[in-house]
Structures are given as structure tokens and as C-alpha cells.
Structure 1
Amino acid sequence: MKTKLEIPVEMHTTLHPVTAREDSSIDEMKTLMQQHHVRHLPIVSAGKVVGIVSDRDLKMAAALNLNEKNLIKAADLMTLEVATFHRATPLQKVALEMAEKKIGSVLVNDDKGELLGIFTATDALHALIKIMRGEK
């Protein structure tokens, strides 16, 4: 019998996350985040994830003057080394790595290694609440 922490991360993953392109501007990414109420945008090029931009990255860029801000694209801000897990990875393993490395989000891939979803610290908190309440 599996414990609730051994369930696959996919069960608490936000599927089909909003993404942006490498050439997306700061304003475009900010708008996407606001419209979809998200704080992390996987950056995709030719159908593959090449990085991730967080709301924190955009806040740091906000200090730039207008000319500088217009020159900056997602490719300039994105984190290249994105933590990625297979959809069947136990929730406990994913949450422990996020906590140990102070990661706000990880990407979840399907069986083909393609982006399935995103698992964030907020998703982890929602999972914890469900587990504590004894929900399935």
C-alpha cells in the first residue's frame, strides 16, 4: 500500500502550464503571469523547454530604465538549469529536493520526456493540506 507521500507528483501537478518564448519581452511575460495568475513561466523553443522565468526575475528587471527594459528578452532572464522530474516520481522525493535546494518550481515530464506540467511550492502546500485532511 502506498503512503500519500509516495503518490506520483503528477497527482498534484498543474498540467499544461502557460509558457513563453525565448524572445518574449518583460512586459509580455508580466502580462501572461498576471492573466493566468502564475509566478513561473517555462520558456520554450522549438517545442522544448530551454529555461524558466519567475516573477522574481521580472521584479529584478523592473529596476532597468525603459530602453534597457525593451532590450531584455526571456532568454536573457531565464534560469537554464531547470529541475525536472518524471510524472511518476514520488511526491516526497520532489518536495524534499525543492526544500533542500530552495526551488520554487520544478517541471514535470511525461513518458516521452516532454513537458506535462509544473509543480510549484504552492502545489506542494495544497498537497500537504489534502494529505493532512485525509483527502484523496
Structure 2
Amino acid sequence: MSTKLELPIQEFTTPYPVTAREDSSIEELLDLIKNLKVRHIPIMSDGKVTGIVSERDLKIISALSTREKFLVRAADLMTPDPIIFRGSTSIEDVILKMSEKKIGSVLVSDEQGNLQGIFTVTDALDILVEILRGKK
């Protein structure tokens, strides 16, 4: 018999994720990923999330010439309308959606829709380890 994990996603979310603007350059995004050791960057405009750029997106763009890279901005590269969950959503619902959509991260907001954090596959694996060790 299985039981649903009713733990809220906010308990496992990396708070205050690094963000960038839609007009951020490829170099700015690469610097954030390299220096802050993140793999996903929410893209913001007027205080709202408009997209997300992953490390994989930036690797794909690396094949462009220096001149071409100079012309590309975050808005050109981002995946628009990323999946956002309220912090109260159950961990199971979030992980199932990530698996179904084959995505590496989702964003987490408060009840007013303000960005609170990011939840990644790595966070999901950390939860699995805790469950296997009997800590959750």
C-alpha cells in the first residue's frame, strides 16, 4: 500500500534563486552559472518570471560565433512560461509533474505569485536519500 507524500515543496526549495533579466547577455548568464554554480536561471521582467534558461541551453548556444553570441539575449534563449508551483504543493505532485514533463527544475512561488525559490532534480534526489534512510 502506498502513501502520498504530503510534505510541502517549500520545505525542500532552494530559496531566493539567482535570476537574470530578459536583456541579459549570454556572457552574463554564463558568468552566473559558472561563478554561482547553478544550472537554472529564472528570467524576470517587471518583477515577474517570464522564462528560464538552463545550463544545457547555454551549452547549445556555445556553438555560435562570438559575434552571434553578442546578439543573443536571455529572452531569445529562455524557455517561456516555466512551470511554477505554490510552496504549499505536495512534494509528490511536483516530482510527478517534473517526471511527466521530463524537466530538471520548477519554480516555487508564495501565495501571491512572487518567486520564492527553485526546486531541481537534485533536490528530489536529496529527498529520496532521506526517505531511503528513514528520515522522512
Report percent identity of matched pairs. Answer: 57
Q: Distance in 1 between matches of 2:125 and 2:110?
A: 23
Amino acid at match of 1:135: K
Deviations 1:57-80 (A, max 9, x none): 100100001110100000000000
Partner of 1:46: 46
Measure how far apart 1:4 and its partner are: 7.5
Partner of 2:95: 95
**SS where residue 27 of structure 1 aligns?**
helix
Partner of 1:131: 131
Q: Distance in 1 between matches of 2:36 and 2:129?
A: 23
Contact 1:12 1:123 in 2 (8 A): yes
TM-score normalised by length of structure 1: 0.95
TM-score normalised by length of structure 2: 0.95
The alignment covers a number of residue pairs equal to 134
Partner of 1:57: 57
Q: What does residue range 1-136 of structure 1 map to in structure 2 within 5 Å?
A: 5-136=5-136
Q: Distance in 2 between matches of 1:119 and 1:50?
A: 17
Moved over 3 A (4+): none
Deviations 1:75-99 (A, max 9, x none): 0000002011010000000000101
